[in-house]
């Protein structure tokens, strides 16, 4: 029972840590230290928020389930377009922005989750490289569909989407999404999924319905990609189906791999780093993807598990190491 109490405390401490981080960011923005670039930095951080959700949700598949999706941007686009259509319909109805935002996220998430299930049921009969190829194919079909539908702009830019994605809202949505994913991974569901990654034959021989858990995880991953898509749409306010191309999917996968497959910490760091990088490298935008691919190649050759491997940062662990240097930090303490 003591262990459980410890875990619950760890959750509270982590929550406080996140609140402190949020307050610091808010103080930073409101104090005017950043001057004219306040909005610019906020923009980068908002981008980082939905990128984190995308990368973490892709890591559920790649890191924990051990399967590829090279079409994650496809699910993102489903979330983006469906939520944009809904908010366009509701925008003049006098609904407060925050509620409209939540509706957008939920609609985006569920639309993508439904798509995820529909794609997952046939696709997940395949494994490895074949599955990877099929996810590209599905994403391309989704893209072609959005290019053809009139309601999604009929191949042209869909613009005039209400700007709802404020940084402070996106921050908390990101925190909630990542927490949910973390809780999923550290539960019987996550344990099962990792077992399937390790050996699907042995999993079945342990009474696990492999297909069910794979489709479930795929659906959850798509759900969060849809939420991220909704944030994207209401941040960008304009989009075109080609935004969600294979290259965008490949970028997310790159971030997962470099950060570390099987580490949500790695996903977060990877996403933040790679969201900030293009801004820092504006003048060298041609070299950006080149640099990604070189880093990816180096990681594959020298450390295939990614920079963070399966390591998860633990605030409680870090604190206890800080205060009681003698006490050995026990591995596996709950945190994100």
Partner 1 sequence: MSYVINIFRKIGVGMALFIQSLVNGLNQGAIYALIALGYTMVYGIIRMINFAHGDFIMVGSYTLFYTIPLMIRTGMPPWMAVFIAIGVCIIVGVSVEVIAYRPVRKAGSMTALITALAMSLFLENLAMVVFGANPKSVTAIFNLPALNFLGAKLQVKYLITLGIGLVIMIALQLFVKYTKLGKGMRAVPQDKQAATLMGIKVNNIITITFAIGSALAAVAALMYCSTYPRATTDMGSMMGLKAFIAAVLGGIGSIPGAMIGGLIVGLVEILVKVYVAPSWYEAITYSLLIIVLIVKPTGILGKNIGEKV
Partner 2 sequence: MNKAEQSVLKVAHLGIAFGGLKAVNDFNIEIGKSELYGLIGPNGAGKTTVFNLLTGVYEPTEGAIFLNGEKMNGKKTHQMVQAGIARTFQNIRLFKKMTALENVKVAMNMSMKYSLGSAIFRLPSYWKEESEVNIKAKELLEVVNLGDKADFIAENLPYGQQRRLEIARALATGMKLLLLDEPAAGMNPTETAELLDIINVIRTKFNISVLLIEHDMSLVMKICEKIQVIDYGVTIAFGTPAEIANNPKVIEAYLGKEDE
- Token output for 80: 């983006």
Please pick, from the candidates 6, 159, 206, 293, the single residue that binds partner 2 as defined by CB under 8 A.
206
d(CA 299, CA 13): 33
Q: Considering CB distances under 5 to 8 angstroms, the limit depending on partner class, which of partner 1, partner 2, none binds residue 246? A: partner 1
Angle at 99 between CA 98 and CA 104, to 5 degrees: 100
- Rounded to a whole number of angstroms, the minimum distance from the CB of residue 274 to partner 1 is 13
Query: Of partner 1, partner 2, none, which one does residue 160 interact with (CB within 5 to 8 Å by kind)?
Result: none
Q: Which residues contact 122 (CB under 8 A, 6 or more apart)?
A: none
Kindly state whether residue 114 participates in binding partner 2, applying the rule CB under 8 A.
Answer: no
Contact between 204 and partner 2 (CB under 8 A)?
yes
Contacting partner 1 within 101-140 (CB under 8 A): 122-123, 125-126, 128-130, 132-134, 136-138, 140
Is residue 300 part of the contact set for partner 1 (CB under 8 A)?
yes
Q: Which is nearer to partner 1, 168 or 293 (CB)?
A: 293
The CA-based dihedral angle spanning residues 48, 51, 53, 59, taken in that order and rounded to the nearest 10 degrees: -130
**Structure tokens of 288?**
């950006």
**Number of Cβ atoms within 10 Å of the Cβ of 293:** 12
Looking at 26-34, 117-125, 136-144, 200-208, which segment touches partner 2 (CB under 8 A)?
200-208
Please say whether the beta carbons of 163 and 235 come within 8 A: yes
Does position 81 bind partner 1 by CB under 8 A?
Answer: no
Residue 206 partner contact from partner 1, partner 2, none using kind-dependent CB cut-offs of 5 to 8 Å: partner 2
Contact partners, residue 261, CB within 8 Å, separation at least 6: 59, 62, 63, 305, 306, 310
Shortest CB 201 distance to partner 1, Å: 6
- Asked if 195 is part of the footprint of partner 2 (rule: CB under 8 A), the reply reads yes
Cβ atoms 317, 329 nearer than 8 A = yes
Binder of partner 2 out of 39, 148, 168, 209 (CB under 8 A): 209
- Count the Cβ atoms, other than its own, within 10 Å of residue 192: 21
Coil, helix or strand for 158? strand
Binding-site ranges for partner 1 (CB under 8 A): 66, 68, 70, 122-123, 125-126, 128-130, 132-134, 136-138, 140-141, 144-145, 147-148, 155, 201, 246-247, 250, 253-254, 257, 286-287, 289-290, 292-294, 296-297, 300-301, 304
């Amino acid at each position: 029972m003591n262990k459980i109490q410890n875990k619950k405390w760890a959750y509270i401490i982590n929550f406080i840590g996140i609140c402190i981080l949020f307050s610091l960011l808010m103080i930073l923005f409101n104090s005017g230290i950043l001057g004219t670039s306040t909005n610019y930095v906020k923009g980068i951080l908002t981008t980082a928020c939905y990128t984190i959700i995308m990368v973490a949700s892709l890591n559920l598949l790649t890191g924990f389930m051990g399967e590829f999706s090279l079409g994650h941007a496809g699910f993102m686009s489903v979330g983006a377009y469906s939520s944009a259509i809904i908010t366009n319909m509701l925008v003049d109805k006098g609904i407060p922005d925050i509620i409209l935002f939540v509706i957008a996220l939920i609609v985006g998430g569920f639309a993508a989750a439904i798509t995820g299930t529909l794609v997952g049921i046939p696709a997940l009969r395949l494994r490895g490289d074949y599955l990877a190829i099929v996810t590209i194919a599905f994403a391309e079909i989704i893209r072609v569909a959005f290019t053809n539908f009139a309601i999604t702009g009929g191949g042209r830019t869909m613009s005039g989407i209400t700007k709802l994605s404020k940084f402070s809202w996106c921050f908390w949505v990101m925190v909630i999404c990542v927490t949910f994913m973390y809780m999923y991974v550290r539960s019987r569901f996550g344990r099962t999924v990792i077992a399937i990654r390790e050996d699907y034959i042995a999993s079945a021989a342990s009474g696990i319905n492999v297909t069910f858990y794979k489709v479930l995880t795929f659906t959850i991953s798509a759900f969060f990609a849809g939420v991220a898509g909704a944030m994207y749409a209401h941040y960008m306010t304009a989009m075109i189906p080609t935004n969600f191309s294979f290259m965008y999917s490949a970028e997310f996968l790159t971030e997962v791999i470099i950060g570390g497959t099987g580490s949500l910490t790695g996903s977060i760091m990877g996403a933040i780093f790679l969201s900030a990088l293009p801004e820092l490298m504006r003048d060298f935008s041609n070299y950006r993807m080149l640099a990604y691919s070189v880093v990816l190649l180096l990681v594959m050759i020298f450390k295939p598990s990614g920079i963070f491997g399966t390591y998860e940062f633990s605030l409680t662990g870090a604190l206890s190491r800080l205060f009681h240097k003698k006490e050995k930090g026990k591995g596996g303490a709950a945190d994100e």
